[in-house]
Structure 1
């Protein structure tokens, strides 16, 4: 998990500085049926909120933990990330993810094997969920940077 945490920290540190330097016109460009770069960052905020709850709850709720999905499109629209100031949006994203890093750094090794039942009834473990979270983060960061 140490490599995952290091990658996570690097993604946050590099992009918390970089994102506010992107011209607002570039951040707000929308194509039909697609999110703007600002909305992608908003989606990462929503992902952080929901995963922070998951990474926390799995430690004290009955096992196996049941993964609850969320409506990504509705949340991006309802939270109006498109109209948010980029500095405020980056700060929100950064703060949430710093808390997730704290959880990652303090997770009990035994907890990494906790089972998670997905909505389709497939089973993953906490280690997979944590690793996948960082990969998801990197994927969307690359979309913002492209």
Structure 2
């Protein structure tokens, strides 16, 4: 898990640097009407962080395998109106959620990392996979913010 922790820390630093060097116009511009802006992608990462923090926490006490509940990502981005949110607020929220996730990851043991989860397709995996998948997902979308 140390590699995953270092990767998450690095991504948080990289994201903060990118966001702090971007203009409001760059962050709110949409390449097409159906696509998210950089701010909306950041908002999606916040929603993902919130949902995964809840998953990482609940798996500690729930029956196993823990069943992953999907969430409506497009609807959450719209409902939270990240496009019009203050950048400082959503950046702080994104960092705070990921700092909490880092703390939670660092508390895990080999036993807890092996807790079984049921993925949406009915497959079985474990908390270790779920954590790594979260960080990989964050990396994917952060690269979108940087490249757009």
Within 2, Cα distance between the matches of 1:16 and 1:28? 16
> Partner residue of 1:121?
122
Provide the aligned C-alpha RMSD in A.
0.9
Provide Cα deviations, 1:81-105, integer angstroms capped at 9, x if missing partner. Answer: 0001111110000000000000001
TM-score normalised by length of structure 2: 0.95
- State how far apart, in whole Å, the 2-side matches of 1:118 and 1:88 are: 32
Q: How many angstroms does 1:137 deviate by?
A: 0.5
* Matching of residue 142 in structure 1 with residue 140 in structure 2: no
Aligned pair 1:22/2:36, yes or no? no
Counterpart CA distance in 1 for 2:108 and 2:61 is 12
Structure 1 residues 70-79 or 26-35, which shifts more? 26-35
Taking the aligned partners of 1:33 and 1:14, their CA distance within structure 2 comes to 26
Distance 1:93 1:112 in 2: 24
CA displacement at 1:119 relative to structure 2:
2.1
Q: How many residues align?
A: 146
| More deviation, 27-36/69-78 | 27-36
Aligned to 1:98: 99
Corresponding residue for residue 112 of structure 2: 111
- What is the CA deviation profile of residues 29-85 of structure 1, one whole-angstrom value per residue up to 9, with x for unaligned ones? 111211001000000000000000000000111111000000000000000000011
For each residue in 1:100-133, what CA deviation from the matched residue of structure 2 results, as whole angstroms up to 9, or x when unmatched?
Answer: 0000011121111111112221111111110111
Deviation at 1:17, TM superposition (A): 3.3
Give TM-score scaled by structure 1 length.
0.97
Tell me which stretches of 4 or more aligned residues in structure 1 moved more than 6 Å: none
- Residue of structure 2 equivalent to 1:76: 77
Unaligned runs of 5+ in 1: none
Q: Offset at 1:20?
A: 2.4
Residues in 2 aligned to 1:124 and 1:104: alpha-carbon distance in whole angstroms: 17
